Amino acid sequence: RDAVAGDAVISGCVNLTGLVRVRVTKTYGDSTVSKILELVENAGEHKSRSEQFITRFARYYTPAVVAAAILLAVVPPLFLGMTNAAVWRDWILRAMSFLVISCPCALVISVPLSFFGGIGGASKCGILIKGSCYLEALAGCDTMVFDKTGTLTVGRFSVISVIPVEGASADHILGLAACAEQYSGHPIARALTEACHPCSTGMTVQPA
């Protein structure tokens, strides 16, 4: 953003050109960066349903897999009466292989990691998501409605097309609208005056 003398500068901005002297007017706790960091830190507290399910699943699955691996390493040699060291080594190797294959790390980590990746990727684009539960809710949305100019746009309006009723001229209607709005400073009024041109009615919009 461009800054001139007297403008407020958001903390965390990078000075690209020139020399800027800035006076600090707020403490760190009231700064924009502090609020953004607080939102990011609180994002981990709002877990989605899938994360909560995986957490509960891993609470029982992980001990069960470890216990099964221990039993696989100890029980067969004892019950089969095998006291040979090579046999114990084979069964311990099998138990370790079973533990690696059945380890829930990939399953448990994949779900929260995907949400963290999504939240991190959105933050790089300037979008702050309060938590994985909100990100999961967005996956089921097919329509989004915004009521504030500047949320997705830059506030620069332009006339794309004029659709008149039967028997009316698009240039005539646009000329009437521009004449009515030529002394207004509203962004939509400026878009109308910029789109208007001398038409068949002979009207010409003069700049305010």
DSSP conformation letters of 108-160? HHHHHHHHHHHHHHHHHTT-----HHHHHHHHT-------STTSSS-S-----
Both structure tokens of 10: 């958001």
Cα–Cα distance, 164 to 172 (Å, whole number): 9
* Distance (Å, whole) CA 43 – CA 160: 40
Q: How many helices (H) and strands (E) does the chain have?
A: 7, 0
DSSP state of 26: S
Max alpha carbon distance in the chain (Å)?
Answer: 108
Which residues are CB-neighbours of 205 under 8 A, at least 6 positions away? Answer: 175, 178, 179, 182, 193, 196
Name the catalytic one among 2, 7, 142, 147: 147
Q: Please say if 147 is a catalytic residue.
A: yes
Q: How far is CA 21 from CA 1, 9, 24, 28, 30, in A?
A: 16, 10, 10, 18, 20
Q: Which residues are catalytic?
A: 147
